[in-house]
């Protein structure tokens, strides 16, 4: 699966604007956490090509870009966790979950709902 990478704080404003047209999903990943790797792998295995038409997926390596992770907390009012998924619609976080709570089916229900 081809996730877009978030590598600068300025991208968050772009994501907010983009979420006005189509939901944006951010996956916050810690390369130091095996649960994070498992959750990301599970999400990738379930992802379908048609999902790209429904939601734009973004990947944040929070070890390398902790400042961006902190800005996500400020901008979207979500408590920092890792791993974590955050779904953004109309510039606002409408759903987040972490660790083993990251579930493809639940994410897609929120995207479509």
Phi and psi torsions of 39, nearest 5°: -65, -40
* CATH of segment(s) 4-112: 3.40.30.10
Q: Is residue 90 very low, low, confident or very high in pLDDT (cuts 50, 70, 90)?
A: very high
Q: Which two tokens stand for residue 48?
A: 């379908």
Q: What global pTM score does this model have?
A: 0.95
How many other C-beta atoms can be found within 10 angstroms of the C-beta atom of residue 75? 17
Determine the Cα–Cα distance for residues 42 and 2; give it in Å rounded to an integer: 14
Q: Which two tokens stand for residue 43?
A: 């999400």
Domain range list for the chain: 4-112
| Beta bridge partners of residue 56, listed in sequence order | 24
Average pLDDT over residues 87-111: 96
Give the tens place of pLDDT for each residue, 66-79. 999 999 999 999 98
CA atoms in the 13 A half-sphere facing the CB of 26: 33
Give the tens place of pLDDT for each residue, 19-64. 999 999 999 999 899 999 999 999 999 999 999 999 999 999 999 9
CA atoms in the 13 A half-sphere facing the CB of 113: 9
């Amino acid at each position: 699966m081809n996730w877009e990478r978030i590598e600068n704080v300025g991208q968050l404003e772009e994501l907010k604007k983009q979420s006005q047209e189509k939901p944006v999903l951010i996956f916050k990943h810690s390369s130091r956490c095996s649960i994070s790797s498992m959750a990301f792998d599970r999400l990738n295995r379930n992802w379908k090509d048609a999902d790209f038409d429904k939601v734009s997926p973004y990947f944040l390596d929070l070890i390398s870009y902790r400042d961006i992770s902190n800005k996500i907390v400020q901008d979207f009012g979500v408590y920092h966790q890792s791993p974590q998924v955050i779904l953004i619609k109309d510039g606002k976080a409408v759903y987040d979950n972490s660790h083993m709570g990251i579930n493809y089916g639940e994410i897609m229900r929120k995207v479509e709902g």
